Structure 1
Amino acid sequence: MMMMTTAVLAESERPSKIMNQEVSGASSVVGSTSVMEAPVVLPSFFDVAVRADPSRVEHARRITKAWLSRRCLMAEDRTDVLVVVISELCTNAIVHGRVDEFGLRGRMGPDGRVRLEVRDAPSAVPSPQHVDSGAESGRGLLLVDAFITELGGAWGFTPDGATAWCEVPLTPARVGPAPLPGSSR
């Protein structure tokens, strides 16, 4: 069973009008805007519990992708890379976590960075392994390291090994000098 915790909207994220309609009194609504036209305001974070079953990794990927693309407005190519990272971290939680469910959390900071976390039971802090070319598993953290480095971010584990995290800028860092004003570059 997947459960989503209630997300509390920060004051700046709350709509100033309810469904684009003014509210006067406790029971009367003035206006004719339909519910379908009301803007959807998603919180700048999410926190869900996911059953530790391999079939649930797809749910974790979908939640992460929807949040990154719809709330954070992250570019599709960056979103796709982070979805692979989350898939690896969730799979590790299922295989090594010794729990019935694991936590998946995302947060977008005011500094334009996105942080994703996967929580399971405390354990020894894992590290990337170099495995033989014929091995069927063991490359997940190497992929995480390569992808997060490519995105200009950082990743790791909490000291108790219970939480794997990654943090990346919402947009890629600018490489090279800025274009000159009026140039076509």
Structure 2
Amino acid sequence: MRSTFGIGQRPPGELPPPEDGEKVGLMRHRARQRLSARGLAYVADEAVLIVSELVTNAIVHSGGREVTVILSLRAGFLRIDVHDGVPSCHTHPKAPRDADENGRGLVLVQSLAEEGRGTWGVEDAGATTWCELKLAAS
């Protein structure tokens, strides 16, 4: 699966418009459909949550105009790439404080990757965030 969509440009610190947020739901839906069609429904819940977190981060934090989501199968792993085209220096999750209302997305992705015997990281100087989940042996 490869899906690219545009997002609105906005000043730093301004929340994205609702139509950009709706694209997160669309990407979740597409990911679940594609995984189910490929017989991978058993990993869909984790993958959809990762797609949701990575796409949300790209929309909220990148300042870019376009986001690309790629799901691919590689050597027994499901790989999820989210590319926003904007390099970032924030490539490692910080532990959020209990009172924080956000900041848990990458921590959640890291946890899901570890539970799924996978890994995650960034490429392209932070313009792409990816996660791999190990698929069940057939």
TM over 0.5: yes
Letter in 1 for 2:82: V
Question: What TM-score results when the alignment is normalised by the length of structure 1?
Answer: 0.63
Give the superposed CA RMSD: 1.7
Distance of 1:85 and 1:146 partners within structure 2: 10
Consecutive unaligned residues of structure 1, counting only runs of 5 or more, are 1-45, 173-185
**Number of residue pairs aligned between Structure 1 and Structure 2:** 125
Q: What is the rounded CA distance, in whole Å, between the counterparts of 2:78 and 2:46 in structure 1?
A: 13
Runs of 4+ in 1 over 4 A off after TM superposition: none
User: Could you tell me the TM-score, scaled by structure 2's length?
Assistant: 0.83
Kept after mapping to 1: 8 A contact 2:88/2:127 = yes
Match of 1:129? 94
Q: 2:65 aligns with which of 94, 100, 121?
A: 100
Cα deviation, 1:46-73, whole Å, max 9, x if unaligned, reads 21112331111001101111111212x1
Aligned to 1:64: 31
AA aligned to 1:105 is: I
Write the mapping of 1:1-185 to structure 2, written as runs, cut at 5 A: 46-52=1-7, 53-71=20-38, 73-76=39-42, 78-109=43-74, 111-120=75-84, 121-171=86-136
Contact preservation (8 Å) 2:70, 2:82: yes
The structure whose Rg is larger is 1
Q: For 1:74-97, what per-residue CA distance to the aligned partner results, in whole angstroms no more than 9, with x for missing partners? A: 143x21011111100000000111
Specify which structure has the bigger relative contact order, considering alpha-carbon pairs within 8 angstroms and separated by 6 or more residues: 2
Q: Secondary structure at the match of 1:167?
A: strand
